[in-house]
Amino acid sequence: MEAAPCISHIASLLCEPKRTAMLWALMDGSAKSSEELATLAGLSPASAIAHLSRLTGGGLLRVDTRRGKRLFRVAAADVSAAIDALASTTMASAARSTPDVLPPALLAPASLRHARLCHGHLGGELAAGIYLRMLEAGWIDRHEQRTDVTLAGMRHLAQLGIFTQALAAPLACDCFDWSQQQPHLGGALGAGLLQLFLQSGWISAVNASHALLVTDIGRLEINRLAAL
């Protein structure tokens, strides 16, 4: 057992609901004061500072100073990735334990709900919209637990510079979106679309967050994808 990774310290930091509430409020890449985070988490200023000190000491948050004011933000991208993974697992485990009951959507900052990184592909409202349009346009097809790219989809994607024959397996799969309560596109095709959007300058990363900034042109072009 000595060779097991020592994750209990980080787990102990995340097991307190008030601390996770403050981390969750910073998942959009923003920086907030202890007073703002205290209000969001329903804490007294003194209690908020104590919790923030533990999160900062544990390497989950870092402190920026602006005009003499201390602002807290997520320390690095791996912290955002871990919290996002926990959100996905929370929704997935709820769905497994009560398969006939749709779990309530997790509330999150608007930018995360709109567009974010999700396991190397695009997640959020923007991604869920692409998935639905690709289904309706006949670019992809669902067979129970399997998602396939159709011949029509391959042709249209090739026009965008995405050649599905060159992509690794799995080519396409459903990824349940914790903020939209519906699937978006995962797999190599989901990753390929994300790279296309990044290289085209339609979206960009926000600090150490998983939130993605979508330009006006990017929103227009992405919403045209697979539009009937």
Q: Is residue 1 part of a domain?
A: no
Domain boundary among 75, 100, 119: 75
**DSSP one-letter code for 228:** -
Structure tokens at 97: 């334990």
To which H or E segment does residue 173 belong?
A: strand 173-177
29-70 confidence digits (pLDDT tens): 899 999 999 999 999 999 999 999 999 999 999 999 988 899
Q: Are residues 129 and 193 in the same domain?
A: yes
**Tokens describing residue 173:** 């799969």
Question: Are residues 109 and 191 located together in one domain of the fold?
Answer: yes
**Residue 202's domain spans which residues?**
81-224
- Are 105 and 204 found together in one domain? yes
Q: Which residue has the tokens 């202890």?
A: 34
Q: Are residues 61 and 85 in the same domain?
A: no
Q: Is residue 63 part of a domain?
A: yes
Residues in the chain: 228
Split into its structural domains, the chain has a count of 2
> Which pLDDT tens digit goes with each residue over 73-100?
999 989 988 898 888 888 888 878 888 8
Same domain (yes/no): 85, 133 = yes
Is 2 a member of any domain?
A: no
Residue 163 placed within a domain: yes
